[in-house]
Amino acid sequence: SSMTLADRATIANMAPEYGATCGFFPIDDKTLDYMRLTARSDENVELVEAYAKANGFWRDENAEDPVFTDTLELDMGTVVASLAGPKRPQDRVSLNKVDEVFNSDLHKLYHKEQPARVAVEGREHDIGDGDVVIAAITSCTNTSNPSVLVAAGLVARKANALGLKSKPWVKTSLAPGSQVVTDYLDKAGLTADLNALGFNLVGYGCTTCIGNSGPLAPAISAAINENDLVAASVLSGNRNFEGRVSPDVRANFLASPPLVVAYAIKGTVTTDMIETPLGQGSDGQDVYLRDIWPTNEEVRTTMDANIDAGMFGARYGDVYAGDAKWREIDVTGSDTYQWRAGSTYVANPPY
């Protein structure tokens, strides 16, 4: 009952990571609060509440406990920051163990004794096994969850203030799941901070998660393939099978948006993210993850000051009308789709 709906939706969407087919939460006052925040009408909110109560879906402190076939207990004191990878979404890895897991896999799976480093043609840097060549804040799983998007922006802001930059071999991108994300990042002034680290808006919807990140820079790709390097990606998606994100990347780790930003700065999964520095600031001093990680209060204050129902109403109040390009399509008004007999793209099935 203490969790926001956005957090619940993130957990429900992460069912593959914890080995379930699906995950869901009951309807309660927090559900209705979210509907109001996202500019649903009072009539719609009242209908959902009445329907949920009439059908036994409603949950509050007076509700009877549901009858479950089985239950699991989780000691919240055991929960730690984690990623999933490098090949399956259900393979959870504690943040402080990512380097150990990768270095072990490098030996056991890829038969390499030590991470190798090679020159990159035309560039002043080299590249090696375990280097993060893709860092993507993607549209699935949690990028319509304001808390983690704001946290990512605050990580970027703190990193910029200290003079940190993304490593030059990292391809970075931001593809939110909602246009409202752009609105509140803009209002909070966090878009500029993300842009400074290379997390520029590339669009809304599926990108890196399904291999739509585009090719790596030719010199980077050549260095990886000609030297059989095991390159890595870090993304806030929910699928990380080998070859899915990029044919050049074999190790893929799923992480929260703020950790994606941090890994773009660190540039590798071969060293401890917590105990070793991300890099050196403009003053030459080592900077650690703890130095740029925002507090819960900073995240909450930023959200409260920059997110409101008007944003959702402005973006999606007339969503089914489409944008200007959609409305410019020349179509014949009809109750059903007018099939094009000669089309090889969309065809009327014969059954």
Does residue 177 register a pLDDT over 90?
Answer: no
Distance of CA 116 to the CA centre of its chain: 29
Q: Average pLDDT over the chain, rounded to whole?
A: 92
Does residue 141 register a pLDDT over 70?
Answer: no
- 279-307 confidence digits (pLDDT tens): 999 999 999 999 999 999 999 999 999 99
The tokens for 43 are: 């009539």
- 256-269 confidence digits (pLDDT tens): 999 999 999 999 99
The tokens for 273 are: 């993210």
The tokens for 87 are: 């090949």
At residue 44, the pLDDT reads 96
Reported confidence tier of residue 152, pLDDT bands at 50, 70, 90: very high
At residue 219, the pLDDT reads 97
- 61-81 confidence digits (pLDDT tens): 888 888 899 999 999 999 999
- 304-332 confidence digits (pLDDT tens): 999 999 999 998 888 888 888 989 988 88
d(CA 41, CA 65): 30
Average pLDDT over residues 35-40: 92
- Number of Cβ within a 10 Å radius of residue 351: 3
Q: How many residues does the chain have?
A: 351
- Set out the domains of the chain in order of their start, with CATH numbers: 5-77 (3.40.1060.10), 82-302 (3.30.499.10)
Does residue 142 register a pLDDT over 80?
Answer: no
d(CA 162, CA 144): 28
* Partners of 137 in the β-ladder: 174
d(CA 17, CA 182): 27
d(CA 215, CA 22): 33
Average pLDDT over residues 337-345: 87
Choose among 326, 328, 317: nearest CA to 39: 317
Q: Are 99 and 271 in contact (CB under 8 A)?
A: yes
At residue 1, the pLDDT reads 81
Q: Give per-residue burial for 47-65: e unless 16+ CB within 10 Å, then b.
A: ebbeebeeeeebbeeeeee
Average pLDDT over residues 336-344: 87
Tell me what percent of the residues of the chain surpass a pLDDT of 70. Answer: 99
The number of helix segments (H) and strand segments (E) in the chain equals: 13, 10
Compute CA distances 284 → 24, 72, 196, 279, 288, whole Å.
Answer: 48, 48, 19, 9, 13
d(CA 273, CA 98): 8
At residue 20, the pLDDT reads 86
d(CA 58, CA 5): 14
Reported confidence tier of residue 231, pLDDT bands at 50, 70, 90: very high
Average pLDDT over residues 31-45: 94
